[in-house]
Structure 1
Amino acid sequence: MVFLGCIVGENGMSMDPSKVEAIKAWPVPKSTSQSKTGASNVVADALSRRHTLLIELDARMLGFEHINKLYKAYPEFAKDIIEPTGLYTVQDGYLLKGNRLCIPNGSIRELLVCEAHGGAIAGHFRVNKTNDIVSEHFYWPKMSKDVQEIMAKCVVC
């Protein structure tokens, strides 16, 4: 019996030889990021990281798709979303500073800090470590101050 590319028989399970050959015959993908190395690949790499960040956040964060609607309501990002500068870019409607997603003012900031500080994979790190974790992927003005204030409310610490 053939099942999902495997042959199940009296002697157990084995891969269907025709499927193995089909996989071996797949052509190697060609892309600009593979043909360029070092400093010449920085732009493609940066675009790839931004796109990956947006996809991951959309999949993991409830309400993520509404962040881009909040930029114009907050003066800290309003000008940059309308007229991106060299420091800021807009991708898929989201404002980025370098490769970091700009987070408008609101409860989402506290959620991100709490997750970085005491979430499932965090260990109630100190302020500097928590700030480093958050600032790796996100940006907002006075982030360090916000991290300190939010962590001061941590009942575990």
Structure 2
Amino acid sequence: MDWPSLAAFSIFSRRLNDTESRYSTFGRELLAMYCAVRHFQHSIEGREFAIFTDHKPLTFSMKSSSDKYSPRESRHLDYISQFSTDIRHISGANNVVADALSRIHSLNRIQGIDLVKLAQLQSEDIDFHHELAATTLQLQTKTIGKGIARPVVPRSYRRVIFDTLHNLSHPGIRATRKLITDRFCWPKMNKDIKEWARTCIACQKNKVINIINAP
């Protein structure tokens, strides 16, 4: 498999709820596969495709006896099998984008985003406080990692946030917006994200390549 030749056309991620977070590793990985297939059903239905996972036990799941699995896991496998039974292993070292997305809900693990600097800018940026005063947004002290925390981002650090998350796989505008708005907030952020995503050079180059290679 020539990995450098592949490019993401879209991405999908979501947070596990309390019940799901207590699933076994196999159960959580299977849930991720099931949710991804459901999310992209409109794009993959009727097509031949392979599913890649860095959790090797999943590659044997379609050939194993159903007695091994819980009713929930059996339902998930049955649904996935309606679209593809070709499940292949990819080493974690090669699964860069998926690994980054799976860890991205923990803000202090996002490489390239300095939360200490962000907090300092929140405290010291006078323009930020003036801008904040003109909105309904309010700063509250929260412990990162407990519950849902969306730091308000000063103007000087917004492009850093955008570049760090968008550059994971250069998704479309809507996917980029979801990645960022789920984790951060600032006034008129949808407008900023739309403008920056539209002017992304890497995305424009990828579109040109896809047009040239189209049958």
Q: Normalization by structure 2: what TM-score?
A: 0.36
> Normalized per residue, which structure has more strand?
1
Instruction: Give the structure with higher Rg (CA).
Output: 1
Higher RCO (Cα < 8 Å, 6 or more apart): 2
